Amino acid sequence: MNRRRFLAAGLASLGAACGAPQVKSDSVSARVSLAEVRRLVAERIDPVAGRCRYVADLGARQVVQPILFARRGEGFDALIENALPQPTTVHFHGLTLSQAQDGAGFDPIPPGGRKRMRFEVRNRSGLYWFHPHPHGFTAEQVYAGLAGLLVVTDDEDQALDAALALAPGNRLALAVADVRVENGVIRPYAPGIRDCMQGWFGDKALANGRLDANWVVAPGWVRLQILNACNARGLLLGFQDPHADNKESLVPFHLLGTDGGLLAAPRALDRVFLHGAERVDVAIDVTGRRELQAVSVEFDARHHTQGAAPRHRHPARERYAPLAQESVCETPEPAEARDRPADGAELALFGLRVEGASARTPALPARLSALSEPDPAPDTPTRRIRLDFDERTGFLIDQTPYAIDETGYSVTRAAREVWEIKNSPISMPHPMHVHGFGFRVLRRQGTFGAARRLATEPGGRFATDLGVKDTVLAWPNETLWLALDFTLPREAAFGGPQRYMFHCHNLEHEDGMMMRNITVL
């Protein structure tokens, strides 16, 4: 098969994630080439439930909740339209973009406003995603359904599909998010005091916008690129076979890649932990099985906050006078909240039904990419960053609440730095995200409790620390060392100081000021 035909076949299978909606009219998704999008509209479809959606306008047709795909090197040039009653932005999470295109919270698009976005995809193949980032409204808008996938392909990615001999439909890109469901209807975002402190947790999982989602796959290898799009919930992802003698036992799979693309070599696992905004790329051989259920296996979520949560408003919302009335974080916990599955409770995510004749399953390639182990020079300067808890304001970075106009961390263009990130012992897991720059995890220390089981890799690292990362999980008491390279493309768009964000991707923590700027000089 020539490359063009092969690409078409491979990407067509991503579209298998786009069936008819099972529960909600806002859950349609179909694959769309990034370069074809002329307008991307963020709109609220239901003022009572607050559900929102993205609509991609391709000129000839419109696609609701699109799954975007691009080959490395392709571009995006579209109008972003804000049809929401709140400010919004579109942030392409994981991509290296200039400040003007990053969709960070500095320049929100006002309600009814529009903004032209133009950029080129420079990053490796992998699963990226796009979501709103208006400070103080991010959690609400992402929960409401504004999260979309971007699949980037390149030669390595396509070579892998060929080696796995993937059947059409056996490659899926999936966004998993938890929602609160009452009588079959998704409840609107209305966080109380405790939700703003710990995060807004749902009791059911959506996969690509669908409850109880199921996909039909053929025997052989299945390749799944999975995003944790939950506001605050960590997922200990595993696969169970409901027809196996032991329905609880986990089916082995292989980790192929993480946030920024393929690992050097696959890792054999039976579970993998991904927190908010982290992605995994896995291969699972479904030959001889009729069905698989993806679950989040029960784990100890280690929420240790000091005493009662303080009453606090979302400070960032106060900037928008007309919306300041819609204050959140002030209601006490309703009684029924105690029955909700807490972070760490087992949760069904989505199912795979295996249909069709078995074919030979090829061996997994021993090498997936040319990525080498990170090896920063011994004299690389170290920047020390602390994740703290403050009784008046909640979780903070270096005891400093976010200020939208701050310089934050000043770094020199093209500098290399080691970041030492220490989470306090009395804390929560914080998935920390750096905009604009993929980084490498060097090692982690201080991991204890059940999380130690995840530290299977050299340097005390987790399997999800391997590869190129843009979001890394810090459990309570852990110290992480990351290698960052602040090189930016030599293009006019990146001229002058560039401001990016560094924040916790627990979206309630992010809106609650656990964020800092990074200014590249």
- 186/179 Cα distance (integer angstroms): 6
Tell me whether residue 505 is exposed, middle or buried, using C-beta atoms within 10 angstroms of its C-beta: 0 to 12, 13 to 18, 19 or more. Answer: buried
Nearest approach, Cβ of residue 470 and Cu ion (Å) = 16
Nearest approach, Cβ of residue 108 and Cu ion (Å) = 22
- 201/230 Cα distance (integer angstroms): 8
Nearest approach, Cβ of residue 299 and Cu ion (Å) = 17
Nearest approach, Cβ of residue 474 and Cu ion (Å) = 8
Stretch that binds Cu ion, among 12-20, 232-240, 315-323, 505-513 (CB under 5 A): 505-513
CB nearer Cu ion, residue 219 or residue 512: 512
Ordered strands of the 235-240 beta sheet? 214-217, 347-354, 291-296, 235-240, 272-274
Compute how many residues bind Cu ion; rule: CB under 5 A: 4
Stretch that binds Cu ion, among 5-13, 268-276, 468-476, 496-504 (CB under 5 A): 496-504
506 forms part of the interface with Cu ion (CB under 5 A): yes
Nearest approach, Cβ of residue 506 and Cu ion (Å) = 4
CB nearer Cu ion, residue 82 or residue 228: 228
SS3 call for 378: coil
Q: 498: Cβ–Cβ under 8 A, 6 or more apart, which residues? A: 98, 99, 436, 488, 519, 520
CB nearer Cu ion, residue 196 or residue 218: 196
Stretch that binds Cu ion, among 29-37, 149-157, 401-409, 497-505 (CB under 5 A): 497-505
SS3 call for 390: strand
Q: Which helix (H) or strand (E) holds 106?
A: none
Amino acid 38 reads: R
CB nearer Cu ion, residue 329 or residue 354: 329
Q: 143: Cβ–Cβ under 8 A, 6 or more apart, which residues? A: 177, 179, 189, 200, 231, 507
Q: 302: Cβ–Cβ under 8 A, 6 or more apart, which residues? A: 428, 429, 449, 451, 475, 476
CB nearer Cu ion, residue 466 or residue 504: 504
Contacts (CB under 5 A) with Cu ion, residues 399-438: 430
Interface pick for Cu ion out of 347, 509, 512, 513 (rule CB under 5 A): 509
- 4/420 Cα distance (integer angstroms): 44
Nearest approach, Cβ of residue 276 and Cu ion (Å) = 8
Nearest approach, Cβ of residue 504 and Cu ion (Å) = 3
- Report the residue closest to Cu ion, judged by CB: 504
- Which residues of the chain form contacts with Cu ion (CB under 5 A)? 430, 504, 506, 509
